[in-house]
Amino acid sequence: MKSTTGRQEAIAAVINYTPFVDAIDLEGETALSLYGTNVFNDKVMRELLPKSVYKSLQRTIERGDKLDFAIADAVASAMKTWALGKGVTHFTHVFYPLTSLTAEKHDSFFEPDGKGGTIAQFAGSALIQGEPDASSFPSGGIRSTFEARGYTAWDVTSPAYIYENPNGNTLCIPTAFLSWTGEALDHKTPLLRSMQALNTQAQRILKLFGHSDPGMVTATAGPEQEYFLIDRNFYFARPDLLSAGRTLFGAKPPKGQEFEDHYFGAIPERVLAFMMESEHEMYKQGIPIKTRHNEVAPGQFEIAPIYESANLSHDHQHMIMLTLQRMAAKYGMACLLHEKPFAGINGSGKHVNWSLGCKLGNLLDPGDTPHDNAQFLVFCAATIRAVHKYSTLLRSTVASTGNDHRLGANEAPPAILSIFLGEQLEDVFTQLKAGPANRSKLSGTLTVGVDTLPTLPRHAGDRNRTSPFAFTGNRFEFRAVGSSQSISWPLVVMNCVVAESLDFIATEMEREMAGDSAKLNGAVQKVLQGIAVDHSAVIFGGNGYSEEWHQEAERRGLPNLRNTVEALPALKDPANIAVLGKYQVLSEREVLSRYDIWLERYCRDINTEGMLALDIARTKILPAALTYQAQLTSLALDLKSLGKTPSTTLLDQILGMTGALEAGIASLEHELAHEDADDLLTHARHFRDKVIPAMSQIRSAADALEGVLCDEVWPLPTYQEMLFIK
């Protein structure tokens, strides 16, 4: 009995694996001295650009001033000189289409010089703008194929960098991607727009607090990326992992994660070597990687950089995901970014830490003095109000096929958006509701005026892992974000809805104060009390996984959008369209196009999974079951011919399970064959309500068979093998 499936070969390959990669050659440098060496950063620009050009560029980068196109030629020329010196032959505008992957089209620097040779060219116009054909990227009906033009536009606020390959290097220029009518087709454009809106509104608040020159207010982000690593041989022996990013079959292993022995455990040697080389590459590209550790599930890990401006963090996040995947292959592994690669084992998320910073420091840091505290409370209250008021919009930003396996599934945050503040801060907001309170849970009395407010502690409470949105001392942590998704969209919505709240607060306070700075105390008090009264329902410090919370949340009127099909229609809610439009983040047409793109994506994802499940069940699992049945049958016949009475218990059991598998195959086939509904939402509901249950039906029969079939006929690498053979 020999398996023809490659599973045994995969196991053998893993066992016989010998590292083929040499230790990183630092060429006499330290990792530290290599940091940012592949980035066209401030230091390089200061060195290579004419002073006036450098200054003009800095004003755009640091103050958000309009870009002066006249400087483009000078910048392009400096970039070219710098890049050629580093072995670069090509440049590319990198952009971030709504596939949530990065896109790039490479152009050579070299052009014929007319004399039989070549000359390196890079004009300002090529730096500023590119023109990739947009027709093969999702646009949600924004453009039809006959209007295929799309433009990439240089984002000066995210520095160009070099991507190295043993065979040559490429200059990468981060860009926004727009249709020829100027509509956003990407993740970067709305992010930049939302950051601008946030800055405008935050400035009004800071002015009321008496700051004359706080500098530009920037949204900051620090994403914690979780991922799985498995040996590449297993990966290629599992068509479901290869095409859907997750396993569609697999019985629960005898040992899963219940021993809790993986979290923060010693990192296996091959994995550590992989992490170190990945980090080394990322350091060169100026990505400030900070932490690495084992996560909760076997085979699961986490990487997190230090926070940066949300825009830069977004670009770097994409580079992190790409680097992890490329580097895993080099070390003979596959990096799984899917939210739920293995049923019954923890899934992966991407906690996005978010705050606001300017020259004054972090605006969500309670600070050391009462004056800072009052300002902090205003920004904190603005966030609370925004999350409460626009909770369906925020919820929709993390809706995806993969994330449906996590949210609300007892390991990741629930699908109900609530905010964890920590005991003491929660108490402050409770007191605020009643007006100038003076209970003393905090040391000293609390009167929320500028002068008498006591210092708030930076760690205003314990951690709460069950909350989708938690205050963690000097920032909010949005924990519902999925591991494979772009962090842009959640950040866009955060920035936009908080801008709306700041706008509301600034307007109230301006009216209250009427230009008299002595009235600051009263104005702050009043606006905070109003928000505490209207929006405290979203604050919750208890166990977000519990059944009681689901009931309590319903009483509080908090929406619970359980899956993607329930969550995405929030994008069509007039209030949500209005807020994105009011701050010029996305027009109604742009929002609706995204609704279409993401709902269509949901249908495609499930359709692919359904087809894969059918294919694997029919061509791998059913034949294995039949093979073993044949073996048992001939054994029974042989025994009978010897005059024995064979036991058919096992055969009967397998016949029953095989029957269930065949029934599952028939019903999935039927559900997948249904006619396309005209309405996308109806179509999506069909996938959710009919296709997914049919897939589960097949899976339970297949997983049961895995438990009883002879190991040697089983065609797929098992959970035990994939998670534990390193």
Contacting residues toward ligand ADP, per CB under 6 A: 220-222, 224, 291, 304-307, 353-355, 362, 474-475
Q: Which is nearer to ligand ADP, 8 or 362 (CB)?
A: 362
Question: How far apart, in whole angstroms, are the C-alpha atoms of residue 411 and residue 406?
Answer: 7
Residue placing its CB nearer to ligand ADP in the complex, 216 or 692:
216
- Nearer residue to ligand ADP within complex by CB, 170 or 317: 317
Coil, strand or helix at 493: helix
Q: In angstroms, what is the minimal distance from the CB of 541 to ligand ADP? A: 17
Q: Smallest distance, Å, CB 472 to Mg ion?
A: 7
Cβ-based nearer residue to Mg ion, 389 or 406: 406
Pick one of ligand ADP, Mg ion, none as the site partner of residue 408 (Cβ within 5 to 8 A by kind).
none
DSSP 518: G
Q: Return the structure tokens found at 78.
A: 């400096």
346 or 355, CB closer to ligand ADP? Answer: 355
DSSP string, 53-94: HHHHHHHHHHH-PPP-GGGHHHHHHHHHHHHHTTTEEEEEEE
Residue 219, strand partner residues = 356
CB of 469 to Mg ion, least distance (A): 12
Supply the minimum distance, in Å, between the C-beta of residue 287 and Mg ion.
Answer: 18
Give the angle subtended at the CA of 304 by the CAs of 301 and 309, to the nearest 5°.
155
* Nearest Cα residue to 401 out of 687, 616, 675: 687
The set of residues, in sequence order, having a beta carbon less than 8 Å from that of 621 and lying 6+ positions away, is: 249, 661, 702, 705, 715, 716
Residue number, 102 or 474, with CB nearest to ligand ADP = 474
| Sign of the alpha-carbon torsion through 37, 43, 48, 49 | positive
Nearest residue (CB) to Mg ion, 208 versus 460? 460
Which of Mg ion, ligand ADP, none interacts with 299 (beta carbon under 5 to 8 A by kind)?
A: none
379 binds, among ligand ADP, Mg ion, none (CB under 5 to 8 A by kind): none
Q: Which is nearer to ligand ADP, 270 or 292 (CB)?
A: 292
**Contact partner, 595, from Mg ion, ligand ADP, none, Cβ < 5-8 Å per class:** none
Residue 306 Cβ vs ligand ADP, minimum distance, rounded to whole Å? 4
Beta strands, E only, 388-472: 419-420, 469-471
Cα separation, 287 vs 274, in Å, equals 16
DSSP string, 577-639: HHHHHHTTS--HHHHHHHHHHHHHHHHHHHHHHHHHHHHHIIIIIHHHHHHHHHHHHHHHHHH
If we measure between CA atoms, which residue out of 532, 473, 475, 469 comes closest to residue 505? 532
- Contacts by 77-84 with C-beta closer than 8 Å and gap 24+? 77/122, 78/45, 78/48, 78/49, 79/40, 79/122, 79/127, 79/160, 79/171, 80/109, 80/120, 80/121, 80/122, 81/48, 82/40, 82/44, 82/48, 83/40, 83/109, 83/162, 83/169, 83/171, 84/109, 84/120
| Shortest Å, Cβ 354 to ligand ADP | 6
Instruction: Select 91 or 228, whichever has its Cβ closest to Mg ion.
Output: 228
The partner in contact with residue 221, picked from ligand ADP, Mg ion, none with C-beta cut-offs of 5 to 8 angstroms by kind, is: ligand ADP
Which partner in ligand ADP, Mg ion, none is near 353 (CB below 5 to 8 A by kind)? ligand ADP
Distance CA 314, CA 196 (A): 16
Query: Residue 577's binding partner, choosing from Mg ion, ligand ADP, none, with beta-carbon cut-off 5 to 8 A by kind?
Result: none
CB of 291 to ligand ADP, least distance (A): 5
Least distance (Å) between residue 378 CB and ligand ADP: 17
CB of 307 to ligand ADP, least distance (A): 3
Residue closest to Mg ion, measured at CB: 351
Report the partner that residue 26 touches, choosing among Mg ion, ligand ADP, none (CB closer than 5 to 8 A by kind).
none
- Residue 474's binding partner among ligand ADP, Mg ion, none (Cβ under 5 to 8 angstroms by kind) is ligand ADP
Cβ 353 to Mg ion, closest distance in Å? 7
Tokens of 342: 């293995």
- Which is nearer to ligand ADP, 247 or 309 (by Cβ)? 309
Among Mg ion, ligand ADP, none, partner that 318 touches (CB below 5 to 8 angstroms by kind): none
Residues engaged in binding Mg ion (CB under 5 A)? 351
